[in-house]
Amino acid sequence: MEKEKIHLLKKELSTRGPKELIEICLSLAKLKVENKEMLTYLLFDAENPIAYAQRLKQDINEHFEGLNLHYYYATKSLRKVLRLIVKYSRFTKNKQGEIELLLHFGTKFLATVEKDTKHYPLLGLLLRSLNKSRLLIQKLHEDLRYDYVQEYNALLLASKKHYLNWEYQLNKPELID
């Protein structure tokens, strides 16, 4: 079975009635959990993506509170948190909220993960989140950028001071001027 192009699906949906569209949306929501989450976001949270990001920060805090500190399990759990952030960014397409979540992730990471860890995949999660937030900050408008640059640079400097094995990492994030 071939998948149809988006413009053909859009044309077909425009010919359907409201009741039929409701049935189609509900059947998509029943098919996959992510579709249901996307529909929930679009119906209830799309008006205020920053408030949605604040609620996700609370979820991130809960994940960090229940974090197993063994490096292997911590890495698995933190990857799950980063997948949550990626899912948020796919739903909202809001760079500002994604930056807030990534910087919050970095702050909680510093507060939770031991500073003498030598597990490079665990440190790599922090490095990749910092690199991604740096790229997103550089794409923001200058008016919004200043506060995030300050927070990012402070987090980066704290990471360099906190982790003993920071200098051995590849693709280290850089300060933003």
As a whole number of angstroms, the distance between CA 102 and CA 133 comes to: 6
Confidence of residue 176 (pLDDT cuts 50, 70, 90): confident
The residues near 5 (Cβ < 8 Å, ≥ 6 apart) are none
Q: Find the helix packing angle between 71-92 and 33-40, rounded to 10°.
A: 50
Helix (H, G, I), strand (E, B) or coil at 7: helix
As a whole number of angstroms, the distance between CA 88 and CA 53 comes to: 8
**What tokens appear for 33 in the block?**
């959990």
Confidence of residue 124 (pLDDT cuts 50, 70, 90): confident
Give mean pLDDT, residues 135-142. 91
Give mean pLDDT, residues 118-136. 89
As a whole number of angstroms, the distance between CA 165 and CA 176 comes to: 22
As a whole number of angstroms, the distance between CA 78 and CA 96 comes to: 21
Confidence of residue 109 (pLDDT cuts 50, 70, 90): very high
> What is the value of pTM for the model shown?
0.84
Give mean pLDDT, residues 103-132. 88
Residue 155 has a pLDDT of: 92
* DSSP 8-class letter at 148: H
| % of the chain exceeding 90 in pLDDT | 37
As a whole number of angstroms, the distance between CA 117 and CA 158 comes to: 15
pLDDT at 163 over 60: yes
Give mean pLDDT, residues 167-174. 66
pLDDT at 170 over 60: no
| % of the chain exceeding 70 in pLDDT | 95
As a whole number of angstroms, the distance between CA 85 and CA 57 comes to: 10
Q: Find the helix packing angle between 120-139 and 71-92, rounded to 10°.
A: 20
pLDDT at 166 over 70: no
Residue of higher predicted confidence among 116 and 105: 105
As a whole number of angstroms, the distance between CA 15 and CA 13 comes to: 5
Residue 165 has a pLDDT of: 66
Residue 162 has a pLDDT of: 80
Residue 169 has a pLDDT of: 61
